Amino acid sequence: MPSSYPVAQIRDAERQALAEGRRLMPLAGAAAARFVAERIQPGTAVLALAGPGNNGGDALVAATLLRAMGHDARVLLPAGAQGLPADAARAHAGWTAAGGATLSALEPGFVPGLVIDGLFGIGLNRPLGADWQALVDTVNGWGVPVLALDVPSGVDADTGEALGRPIRARWTLSFIARARGLDLSGSGAGAIGESHVDTLGVAMPAAGGEA
């Protein structure tokens, strides 16, 4: 299994790549879209949960690409687009330009065939707020496959501890490197599912904080 790293070390590699002019969000979104497309049948409804940060931007890019492939992709952006970081705002603009509709709340009676969890990434270090927890509980209640981007929302990426009741992923796709918490037996370990990594072409040190 590849090494796992502290969040701070992954962030350093990310900043370095961005400083070198690498555009990581399009790469991450494309990786997520490929991952999903390989695992769904035509006509499967995919719901991308886009949070208020760059993790949400990755989900928006993935949804845009899945829509371009002909899949029934939908986006839920509970916090709205106003406060999105610059890259995520561009991803939202791309989704809108492609004709995608952005939901602010779940549609009554709608249950997708697969969920992309882009609510919170490796930066989450506090318990999920009440509204976010209610959304996660609803998704978990559906019992459908979930692809978590970087880390399941509600899991501390450094410690592996649950920050409330995490989203239960069938797969977790880490970008750049696997966060250390995904290899630890914390209270969030049962939410991770199969762990996959796409480095996006970003190199990490040979020796990391492997658990």
Q: Is 140 annotated as a binding residue?
A: no
Q: Is 29 annotated as a binding residue?
A: no
End-to-end CA distance of the chain: 10
Paired with 116 in beta bridges are 48, 147
Q: Is 57 annotated as a binding residue?
A: yes
Residue 162 has what DSSP assignment?
A: B
Round to whole Å and give the CA distance between 34 and 196: 13
Q: Is 126 annotated as a binding residue?
A: yes
Q: Is 72 annotated as a binding residue?
A: no
Q: Is 150 annotated as a binding residue?
A: yes
Q: Is 10 annotated as a binding residue?
A: no
Q: Is 124 annotated as a binding residue?
A: yes
* Helices marked H in 69-195: 86-97, 130-142
**Is 183 within 8 Å of 211 (Cβ atoms)?**
yes
Q: Is 56 annotated as a binding residue?
A: yes
Q: Is 153 annotated as a binding residue?
A: yes
Host H or E run for residue 174:
strand 171-175
Q: Is 137 annotated as a binding residue?
A: no
Known binding positions: 54-58, 117, 121-127, 150, 153
Known binding positions for K(+): 55, 117, 153
Known binding positions for (6S)-NADPHX: 54-58, 121-127, 150
